[in-house]
Each structure stands twice: as C-alpha cells, then as structure tokens.
Homo-oligomer: A and B are copies of this chain.
Amino acid sequence: MIVQCHQDLSREEYERVYKKLEEFGCQVTEVVTQLGHYFVALAKRDIDIRRVGHLDGVADVHRVSDSYKLVSRKWKVDPTSVDLGDGVVIQSGGLSLMAGPCSIEGEEQVRAVAAHLKAHGVSIMRGGVYKPRTSPYSFRGVGLDGLKMWSACAKEFGLKIISEVLAVEQIEGMAEYVDIFQVGARNAQNFSLLHELGQVDKPVLIKRGMSSTIEELLQSAEYVFSSGNEKLMLCERGIRTFERAYRNTLDLNAVPVLKEKSHLPVIVDPSHGIGVRRFVEPMALAGIIAGCDGLLVEISPSPEAALSDGDQTLDFRESANLFEKAKVVHRLREGESLQGVDEARARIGG
C-alpha cells in the first residue's frame, strides 16, 4: 500500500499516520522525495484502505500488488517526466537523444562531439569518465578532472550531460557537473550505490543488469525512489544469452513491458545492446517503434581510435543519419498515421 501525503504534512499528522499504519500491523517505510511525501506500508493481512485514506494529511491511498511499489504504474498512472532544465525534458511519448563517446578522452574530442550534437539538435551528451572495465589493466577513464572540462564545454554548447557513476564516493564530486547519473549494468544491483543516489536531487538512469529480470530492474529503481529520489529513468541495454553473434542480446520486449508496468521513462541503448556498429541503427529505430522514450548511443569522431568500445561506436555521418531517421520514426509513432489507426477503428466500430 502506498500512502500519498499532502506536501505540507505536519509533524503531528505524520506521526498519526505512521502510528495508525503500525497499528494495522504494517511494516512502514517513510519516503520523502523532491516531489512528494509517501508511506510504503506492507501489510500482512488485508486492510480497509479507507481507514487510512480519511486521516488528516493523507492525499490518496493505493494498493499495489507488485513487489515494487513506488515505481509501479498501478498507483501512478500518469507517466513521470524528468526535467533537466533549459527545456530539456525526458518524457513518455518523447524521444530524448543522448549520444557521445564511450569514454571522454580529451577536449578536442569533447568539442568535436558537442558541436556535432548541437548541429543535429541533440541536447544530451553521454560520456564515461569512470569506466567499469572487466580487466583492471584497461583504461579506467579520465576521472573528475576530465568531467570538469567536459562539463564546461557542454555548458558552452548548451548541452546536458549523462555520465556513469561507479561508486558511492564519486557521487559528491560528480553531482555538480552531471545532469544525469547513469548506473551501469554491472552496478544494477549495487544496492549501496542505489541507496545513496536516492539522497541526491539529480536524475538517475538505471541500466538493466546483464541478467536482471524486468522485476529486478524495477526493484533497483524502487531502491532509489524509496531513498528519496524520484527523478528516474530505466534503460534496456541488452541481456546475456547463449547467442554469440552479437555482444549482448538487446531485449526490445522490455520496452512495452516496462512502459506498462512503470510510470518511468524507458531509454534504449542499442550500442551496448547489439554491440555491432552497422546494426546499431536498425535496433535503435526498432526501439523507437516499440515505444521507448529515448536513445543512448555511442558516437565518436573516430571510432577506430576510441580507447574503448570502438566496435559499436558510430561515426559522425552514421550518427547524423541515425538522428534524422530516429526523428522520422518517432514522428510516425506519435503521429496520426499510427496513433490514429486504433482510434479511427474504434470510432467506426472496425
């Protein structure tokens, strides 16, 4: 059960609600986010929710049978929008393009990418400054100094930034410079990191773990939300299967399923998803038609020379083509030619 409180809940009201929920035998978690004040109450037996709903300070009460609660669409039917400021909003039905190099390498690279994005109307730049690498001997990123340089450039070009955070101790340093924290697949169940990201007022994009189920991904998001941060996005980036013809198996089934189960925006990362440069475009466009709200794509001025993931990185020409096609496909999805079909048929009783 989710008990939604009025924003101006008084201390007295708070205590009365809390006490009442405990009287009902519930295990109660208080959640205070940037946007709301909630109690998540797990009851062992059935409770008449009206007996909670009429308490002072309570705005609404919802039963949620899912194992995840606050990220479920069962209580919050309206989709969540994540506003990055300056008119950049990630939202259901939209198409937020996020692109950039796997690793931030230097100012020249950053400027080239930023200018390219700007020229093509892309407003969010991705890039790694802390890199999770399977081998300890691989390049692990330029770190905080690189992030500062990148952030300054991005501001100059009017771009927002998304970058992966690997560890709790990086959050504080990064928070000032990034617009979105990205949690990578390997940290999808790093609950300590998720908890801490709940304490920051900064949007978080959570990638699905390599073998995370849909439910586990939503539970990971629940960690952040229940710790205090509801500016969240989910990202499908490919799962691990037996197939060896691609790096990962981009699981587009997750897109409509996540959109139905949760009110959070859903982003698709076709670059890691299929991991083969020339197949990134078809998978990206398929993700859009399947209903995603944004793309996270690896691009570089010179993929061949990239310090990491060059095999799946688009060059400028390829990415420019992708951006243009993405917009066309998105317009089709949202426009009358597709959306209108169901309505028209419903009208004529088709």
Interface residues, chain A, CB within 8 Å of chain B? 27, 29, 40, 42, 67-69, 132-137, 166-170, 186-187, 189-193, 195, 210-211, 213-216, 219, 222-223, 226-227, 239-246, 249-257, 260, 273-274, 276, 278-279, 282-283, 285-291, 317, 320-321, 324-325, 328-329, 332, 337-338, 341-342, 345, 350
Contacts and interface: CB of A to CB of B under 8 A. Distances in A.
Protomer copies: 4
A288 B210 CA distance: 26
A222 B138 CA distance: 12
B329 A338 contact: yes
A168 B169 CA distance: 8
Contact of A290 (B40, B68, B189, B282): B282
| Chain A interface, DSSP helix/strand/loop, else mixed | helix
Contact of A274 (B27, B250, B253, B338): B253
A143 to B, nearest CB: 13
Contacts of A251: 241, 243, 249
Contacts of A40: 137
A213 B324 CA distance: 33
A120 to B, nearest CB: 10
B317 A350 contact: yes
B244 A253 contact: no
Contact of A328 (B241, B279, B332): B332
A170 B191 CA distance: 13
A134 B189 contact: yes
Contacts of A216: 134
Contacts of A210: 211
A240 B249 CA distance: 12
Contacts of A278: 256, 260
Contacts of A134: 67, 189, 216, 219
A338 B350 contact: no
Nearest to A257: B245
Contacts of A191: 132-133, 136, 166, 186
Contacts of A211: 210-211, 240, 242
Contacts of A187: 189-190
B227 A136 contact: yes
A255 B287 CA distance: 13
A189 B132 contact: yes
A279 B347 CA distance: 22
List 10 tightest A-B contacts by C-beta distance, closest first.
A167-B192, A211-B211, A186-B189, A286-B286, A286-B290, A214-B245, A256-B282, A211-B240, A285-B289, A136-B223
Given A132-B189, A242-B241, A244-B244, A29 B257 contact: no
A246 B256 CA distance: 11
A226 to B, nearest CB: 5
A244 B332 contact: no
Pick from A189, A213, A215 the residue with the most CB of B within 10 Å: A189
Contacts of A214: 243, 245
Contact of A252 (B245, B283, B325): B283
